[in-house]
Amino acid sequence: MIFSPPLVPARLIRRYKRFLFDAVLEDGREITGFCPNTGSMLGLTEPGSRIWLSEHDSPNRKHAHAFELIEAAGTVVGVHAALANRLAEEAIRAGLVADLADYPTIAREQRYGARSRIDFLLSGPDRPAAYVEVKNVHFTRKVGLAEFPDTTTARGARHLTELVEVVRAGQRAVMLYLVQREDCNALRICGDLDPVYAENFAAAIAAGVEAYAVKCRVTPAEIVPLGPIAMDEPRLAAL
């Protein structure tokens, strides 16, 4: 995924009210922009950090700039959560996620479960359909180890329960964690920050839900899915 037009460099002043941030552009102007990430962004909001912004001239937008990348712990990290699906599709089509590239049809945002939409529904002849739920990941506390989630996520826990029902119905269910940073070689479910999610994850794996993680190379010019990284066992002992 190439950023076009090119991103605008800046320095972060603060991120607040979930969807807003203040920054200083290279020409000295202070701006307020939109932060396309509803999570805590734990470890990714340090004032003074180098960041990169997309710039938009639509009259329908309240803010011209959107928060895309931040430099943290010596690496560039993608914070735009909605890009995870686009990058996940690139990873699937490139054959980076198990055998999912073998499915000839990929449908996006399909209804399933009680009140959810699956990110991708893969289908093909003579095989069970594959329901793929994508989660954006950028949190780390230990060198080389990505973690999810970075805060409690009731919605994420519900998705795991619904994926179990998909397996029980005879179809494939896949959790795909898209890591928007290159400095991690494994992903662990973060049981101390969300024990319910960790419990649901363990139950889902036991029921036959598949889980994969793919990391990306992130630069101010582009984000490229690189390949799979290891999935650690859920650390339920920490609960």
Which pLDDT score is estimated for 238?
36
Is residue 206 within a helix (H) or strand (E), and if so which, with residue range?
helix 195-207
Count Cβ atoms below 10 Å from residue 145 Cβ, excluding itself: 17
Q: Which pLDDT score is estimated for 236?
A: 38
Dist. CA 218–CA 227, nearest whole Å: 13
Residue 239's pLDDT is 31
The full set of domains in the chain, from first to last, is 8-78 (2.40.50.580), 81-231 (3.40.1350.60)
Return the pLDDT at 233: 66
Please give the C-alpha separations between residue 97 and each of 175, 212, 232, in angstroms, as whole numbers: 11, 7, 16
Separation CA 27–CA 136 (nearest Å) = 32
Q: How far from each other are the two terminal CA atoms of the chain, in whole angstroms?
A: 38
Looking only at the bridges linking them, the beta strands covering 65-72 and 50-55 are antiparallel
Q: Strand 172-179 and strand 130-137: pairing?
A: parallel
- Mean per-residue pLDDT pooled into runs of 10, the chain (239 residues): 96 96 97 94 96 89 94 96 96 97 96 85 95 97 95 94 96 98 97 96 97 98 97 53
CA atoms within 13 A on the CB side of 36: 18
CA distances (Å), 92 to each of 82, 132, 170, in order?
Answer: 17, 10, 22
